[in-house]
Structure 1
């Protein structure tokens, strides 16, 4: 039914119902990323209740993040082949069920499955399809639309962090998880807002492909008369499906996307542990529980400013062509913030850190889908975002436990934060060197083209163009042929 209501547009409408899509994506990021960040507030509660060390307790947060990103291609697949609305509503039901079951947990293993796997899977079905829908509806104001949509993560963190702390104090961690489970059901409402749209550039779908000359018309007519169980139909449909699946993911062989993918691996490794260990680190240096939760709120609200201002700035004509450099600058600044974090030993020093890290975190999170769209195009954006968020999975799974193991081993957070900082700086430098190498190669090719162009002057006479070098070569050939003939006559 959703596919029947789709209207074909020449290009993204850049407004209209698109602003409702932005509002829906805004609520999706609140219910997914903000709730995931607030799970770090439960860290101390889980550790005290179950009596476990840092490394084992950190697996809860890392499994949520890993499942969300690992199953992102599944969300894109459901969005592309069934409906974005169905995927988000199903994801909301799964995530809510996971949080409600977590409120009855009796062990960390129970939380690994319910809060980690089930809730993470539900978030995965919602997150990447909602973000891709914004890219379908916007082109000229794409970065601004993404800035508003992704600011839900910061606003949600700002509001939910103190609310979750208050819920834990009033109803214990079990009651807080139960209430969060009911709150996450709002994802079903967000899914209902995601009205599908079809663009003329979306020509890679199977129905349109079947209208091409891949199979002769006479053979198609015969196939319609035959049984659906015919081997010929099975072979034909299998070949069509394989072709369409390959066309959906042909961007994987693009050099620009491969470099972006590698840089995202290191960026994801560096950014994840901070959201897990900022509150425990603040508590370890003598900050109170309410002040530690307030640090997360500051980080969240400044995240909003980074989302919207960087989105607006990179839509300006002067910066629109330099979105890659804006992205790598933001990632590098967050890496520097992580390097300086171990020397910040009180609340008054941690507040500026939350401001700076939160701003640049919001900046590069906004630019991830924008940069991805610039690399692969709008028609492949949903599949590409699924792959991009899939690449976050392993770093998100590994980095918090590794950071916890370093804390348990060294008795300090210094090694963990330094590793995160260097990882993000390396991610930024990798993209920077790749872009510079590409510019140098283009300049070299341009110089070669100019050198070749000076040797070939072209005159146009009516509709016919003559090349001087080609004409001279032709005369040389005729002269040699004539000389050979005269020699043979002798």
Structure 2
């Protein structure tokens, strides 16, 4: 996830196909090299760095392509696409264990390397499409003096960040890069970024410490593992069903609040977890937390697209997943330190719960402030519209302001012959 912006950069300047195929090649190479590892440091580089970099290059372009292909059922499409991660984890866990038993861990890594190489095939199927939002940016770009006239007609049919832009001048590339990341200055995206930081901090430790917590309150090892299985399966169901629900006409306009509700519910689950100290109470917790975790994960790219637009979605998702990765790495050690310091899991789970509730509350207040501002600006817009009157008389058009102090009278077109005939 830390390298997600790199995947977005490659997909924007080359293509999503090349980004995913390159990522699949790197991930497969890392797994194959890991099968020949002779030390732990070798595994750090091959399995950790190289394979992780490959998956990072694949992830954000693949998610962004879903948003480009689907509009009417976008949330459902994201839910189905992102449920593949949970389904793959659920199926591959016993398969990998079987491979290790049959071929040892080296043989298992070698087989997985060949299996992951199929990402190149998946990437080749990602046919790029041109969006209307991309085409709208082309006329503005054509005004620049450094764009050759012979290539202006080609540019009209292409995205502003098309691969052919790379062969043009350095100034052209700088302009393209600026247009890719101008969403970073949008207030809506800034609030979303801060909210993602707190949300990611809250959700990560529970996946690490749910089983140890269950064991600490007297749950057996088999039952504790079953809790994680429940959480994983319900997470997949939440991906698909919540995406389908938020695509309904009654909820489609309120996706932001559906996302806030899902994050807030996960936060409440974390707050109540310290009082759930037996297996019958932990089972409903796993159902609830798993469902709403899958729900808000599905809506992250949908909300991001609503904030920045589809044309900037790939770059924005790279930044969002990068911000998501930082607290995801930091929070488990912090939670472990709190457990060691206090001698219980209560402080860790409470901190996670409050972080997620703060994330939800922050976005909620931002949306309310935006609506209030829009409500106040609407009457002013209507008043300004009433002051402007436009009359047309045959081929004569006047644009006259209603305020008496202004003397601007603009003759847009005059046909003297038709006017004299009248």
TM-score category of the 2 structures, normalised to the smaller one: 0.7 to 0.9
2:169 counterpart residue number = 237
- The answer to whether the Cα contact below 8 Å between 2:202 and 2:355 also exists between their aligned partners in 1 is yes
Alpha carbon RMSD of aligned pairs, Å? 7.5
Of 319-328 and 98-107, the range deviating more from structure 2: 98-107
Using the TM superposition, give the Cα deviation of residue 314 of structure 1 relative to its aligned residue in structure 2, in angstroms.
1.5
Q: For 2:108 and 2:193, how far apart are their aligned partners in 1?
A: 36
Q: For 1:225 and 1:144, how far apart are their aligned partners in 2?
A: 30
Inter-CA distance 86–282: structure 2 relative to 1 (3 Å threshold)? farther
Inter-CA distance 221–337: structure 2 relative to 1 (3 Å threshold)? closer
Using the TM superposition, give the Cα deviation of residue 378 of structure 1 relative to its aligned residue in structure 2, in angstroms.
1.1
Using the TM superposition, give the Cα deviation of residue 406 of structure 1 relative to its aligned residue in structure 2, in angstroms.
1.7
Inter-CA distance 231–392: structure 2 relative to 1 (3 Å threshold)? closer
Using the TM superposition, give the Cα deviation of residue 423 of structure 1 relative to its aligned residue in structure 2, in angstroms.
0.7
Q: For 1:80 and 1:431, how far apart are their aligned partners in 2?
A: 28
1:85 partnered with 2:14: no
Of 252-261 and 336-345, the range deviating more from structure 2: 336-345
Structure 1 stretches lacking a partner, 5+ long: 1-68
Using the TM superposition, give the Cα deviation of residue 320 of structure 1 relative to its aligned residue in structure 2, in angstroms.
1.3
Q: For 1:460 and 1:155, how far apart are their aligned partners in 2?
A: 64
Using the TM superposition, give the Cα deviation of residue 408 of structure 1 relative to its aligned residue in structure 2, in angstroms.
2.5
Using the TM superposition, give the Cα deviation of residue 188 of structure 1 relative to its aligned residue in structure 2, in angstroms.
3.3
Using the TM superposition, give the Cα deviation of residue 388 of structure 1 relative to its aligned residue in structure 2, in angstroms.
0.9
Q: Deviations over 1:288-343 (max 9, x none)?
A: 44433322221122112211121112112221111111111111111111111222
Inter-CA distance 408–90: structure 2 relative to 1 (3 Å threshold)? farther
- The answer to whether the Cα contact below 8 Å between 1:78 and 1:87 also exists between their aligned partners in 2 is yes
Q: For 1:194 and 1:481, how far apart are their aligned partners in 2?
A: 50
Q: For 1:281 and 1:113, how far apart are their aligned partners in 2?
A: 32
Inter-CA distance 117–207: structure 2 relative to 1 (3 Å threshold)? farther
Inter-CA distance 83–405: structure 2 relative to 1 (3 Å threshold)? same
Using the TM superposition, give the Cα deviation of residue 197 of structure 1 relative to its aligned residue in structure 2, in angstroms.
2.2
Inter-CA distance 88–430: structure 2 relative to 1 (3 Å threshold)? same
Inter-CA distance 200–163: structure 2 relative to 1 (3 Å threshold)? same
Using the TM superposition, give the Cα deviation of residue 439 of structure 1 relative to its aligned residue in structure 2, in angstroms.
1.0
Inter-CA distance 478–89: structure 2 relative to 1 (3 Å threshold)? closer
Q: For 1:427 and 1:95, how far apart are their aligned partners in 2?
A: 33
- The answer to whether the Cα contact below 8 Å between 2:395 and 2:415 also exists between their aligned partners in 1 is no
Of 206-215 and 317-326, the range deviating more from structure 2: 206-215
Q: Deviations over 1:105-157 (max 9, x none)?
A: 78876665444433321221111011011111111111111111111133234
Using the TM superposition, give the Cα deviation of residue 238 of structure 1 relative to its aligned residue in structure 2, in angstroms.
1.5
Q: For 1:386 and 1:337, how far apart are their aligned partners in 2?
A: 29
Give the paired residue count. 422
- The answer to whether the Cα contact below 8 Å between 2:29 and 2:113 also exists between their aligned partners in 1 is yes
- The answer to whether the Cα contact below 8 Å between 2:161 and 2:176 also exists between their aligned partners in 1 is no
Using the TM superposition, give the Cα deviation of residue 346 of structure 1 relative to its aligned residue in structure 2, in angstroms.
2.8
Inter-CA distance 233–279: structure 2 relative to 1 (3 Å threshold)? closer
1:348 partnered with 2:293: no
Structure 2 stretches lacking a partner, 5+ long: none
Inter-CA distance 291–134: structure 2 relative to 1 (3 Å threshold)? same
2:42 counterpart residue number = 110
- The answer to whether the Cα contact below 8 Å between 2:398 and 2:409 also exists between their aligned partners in 1 is no
Using the TM superposition, give the Cα deviation of residue 444 of structure 1 relative to its aligned residue in structure 2, in angstroms.
1.5
Using the TM superposition, give the Cα deviation of residue 425 of structure 1 relative to its aligned residue in structure 2, in angstroms.
0.6
- The answer to whether the Cα contact below 8 Å between 2:21 and 2:121 also exists between their aligned partners in 1 is yes
Using the TM superposition, give the Cα deviation of residue 475 of structure 1 relative to its aligned residue in structure 2, in angstroms.
10
Inter-CA distance 233–118: structure 2 relative to 1 (3 Å threshold)? closer
Using the TM superposition, give the Cα deviation of residue 87 of structure 1 relative to its aligned residue in structure 2, in angstroms.
2.2
Q: For 1:246 and 1:156, how far apart are their aligned partners in 2?
A: 37
Of 336-345 and 181-190, the range deviating more from structure 2: 181-190
Q: What SS is found at the alignment partner of 1:104?
A: coil
Inter-CA distance 445–99: structure 2 relative to 1 (3 Å threshold)? same
1:63 counterpart residue number = none
Of 179-188 and 253-262, the range deviating more from structure 2: 179-188
- The answer to whether the Cα contact below 8 Å between 2:160 and 2:176 also exists between their aligned partners in 1 is no
Q: What SS is found at the alignment partner of 2:44?
A: helix
Q: What SS is found at the alignment partner of 1:220?
A: helix
- The answer to whether the Cα contact below 8 Å between 1:94 and 1:119 also exists between their aligned partners in 2 is yes
Using the TM superposition, give the Cα deviation of residue 286 of structure 1 relative to its aligned residue in structure 2, in angstroms.
3.6
Q: Deviations over 1:195-244 (max 9, x none)?
A: 22223432489999579654464999999999999999999712111111
Inter-CA distance 112–283: structure 2 relative to 1 (3 Å threshold)? farther
Q: For 2:288 and 2:349, how far apart are their aligned partners in 1?
A: 15
- The answer to whether the Cα contact below 8 Å between 1:206 and 1:240 also exists between their aligned partners in 2 is no
Q: For 2:123 and 2:158, how far apart are their aligned partners in 1?
A: 39
Using the TM superposition, give the Cα deviation of residue 284 of structure 1 relative to its aligned residue in structure 2, in angstroms.
3.3
Of 311-320 and 81-90, the range deviating more from structure 2: 81-90
- The answer to whether the Cα contact below 8 Å between 1:168 and 1:176 also exists between their aligned partners in 2 is yes
Question: Which aligned pairs between 1:195-274 and structure 2 lie closer than 5 A?
Answer: 195-203=127-135, 209=141, 213-215=145-147, 217=149, 237-274=169-206
Of 183-192 and 347-356, the range deviating more from structure 2: 183-192
- The answer to whether the Cα contact below 8 Å between 1:165 and 1:293 also exists between their aligned partners in 2 is no
Q: 1:289 aligns with which of 206, 215, 221?
A: 221
Using the TM superposition, give the Cα deviation of residue 443 of structure 1 relative to its aligned residue in structure 2, in angstroms.
1.3
User: Normalising by structure 2, what TM-score?
Assistant: 0.81
Q: What SS is found at the alignment partner of 1:465?
A: strand
